[in-house]
Each structure stands twice: as structure tokens, then as C-alpha cells.
Amino acid sequence: MIRRRTQGEWVPDKTKTAGGAEPLPSSSPRDRPGSSPGVPNGAEAELASILEGIKAADRSALKHLYDRFGARLYGMAHRILRDQALAEDALQEAFVKIWRNAGKFDPERGSATGWVAIIVRRAAFDLRPRDLVLEPSDIPAEQPEMEMLHPGLARALDSLPETHRKALLLMYVYGLTHSELAAAMGAPLGTVKSWVRRGAAALKEALGDG
């Protein structure tokens, strides 16, 4: 597993496995900003560089990943799990998975931010208690951390109708079920299912994944 130091640092120690959940569509290489197609910048470039280091079995790169992005990745897990201990466990699982599988990351098939975020969300969904029910009052009014979304995906989300965009974010960022989503948005179950379905279809079309 990944051992947590008293100062809050994370270092690879022993390994164990992580699991799966359904992600938002990831942006295609042609959607990435930069001076030329497929050249990322900002957080995307930094994260891609970190993954290259992890791919080369550089343990300092894994520490860099935690130092630079750990708080945001923990936030992703906590929004789904609503529990500090479970969120920390999910982050441990995700870091082990990233350490083991960094060699499988292909920048031609998707963004580094999307690849890492999917791993964290999958680890969190694997640990989510079956009886966990989020009340509307449990969901913060502010927007979730968006830096871990690729700019192409963020732009596509911004182009959606507000109801579609909110439904997707509540489901995929906060991990709400369709029933919880209906309660949180004050809409019939069939309506929110339609919003999620249409929003996801629009994202796939905008990103060229359909």
C-alpha cells in the first residue's frame, strides 16, 4: 500500500489493487490547447510530465504528484464518499494504481488529467458504501474543483444547458445515483435520467468520441 507520513507526504511502499466506475467522456487529443495539436499546457503538461517520471519508476515523481495534485484528488474522492477515512483509502488505492499503470497512459488517446481523475473516481466508487445516501443539504453550493478536468472537456460542459451540466457534474463528480440526483434537483426521476443521457451524448459529440 502507500504509507502516509506524519507530515502528510505519501510514498510508495507495498502494492495492492483498485477498481472501477463509469467516467465522463475524456477529451480527444485534438481538443487540447497549445501551440500545436496534441501539445498540452498548464496543469495538463505538468501532470503528463509527472506520469512520465512515474513510468520510469521515479518515486520522487509520485511524491510530486501528491504534493502538487493530492489535495484536489482527495477532494474528488471525498465528494463521492463523504468520509475522510474512506477518501484517504481511495486515494491510496488510486496512487498504487497510478504507480503500477503509468506505462499504460497514452497521450494520443486522452489527457493526463482525465486519466488520473478516472482512476481516482473508480477507486472512490469501489469504496462507496451501498447504503450511502446524500441529502441535497450535503451537496456544497459552490462548483467543484474544475482544474482536474481537461480544458476541452470543461469547455464542452460549459456549452451544455444548465440542467444537463449540473446533472452530469452531480452524478460524476459527487457520485449521486439517479434517485439522489432527482431529489437534489427537485425533478422527476425520468427527467434527470434524460438530462444525464442527453448531456453525455452531447459531450461525446462535442469531443468527437461518438
Q: Any idea what the CATH number is for the domain that residue 123 is in?
A: 1.10.1740.10
pLDDT of residue 141 exceeding 80? no
Q: Which three cell numbers stand for residue 101?
A: 499503470
Distance CA 149, CA 155 (A): 10
At 138 the pLDDT is 52
More confident residue, 5 or 50: 50
- If one counts the domains in the chain, the total is 1
Question: Where are the alpha helices (H) located in 82-158, listed in sequence order?
Answer: 84-101, 112-127, 151-158
Mean pLDDT of the chain: 76
Which among 71, 93, 86, 82 has a CA at the least distance from the CA of 8?
Answer: 71
Distance CA 32, CA 155 (A): 11
The mean per-residue pLDDT over the stretch 93-120 comes to: 91
Beta carbons within 10 angstroms of residue 141's beta carbon:
4
Which among 113, 116, 86, 111 has a CA at the least distance from the CA of 99?
Answer: 116
At 11 the pLDDT is 40
Q: Model confidence at 207, in pLDDT bands (50, 70, 90)? A: confident
pLDDT of residue 172 exceeding 70? yes
Residue 128 domain boundaries: 2-206
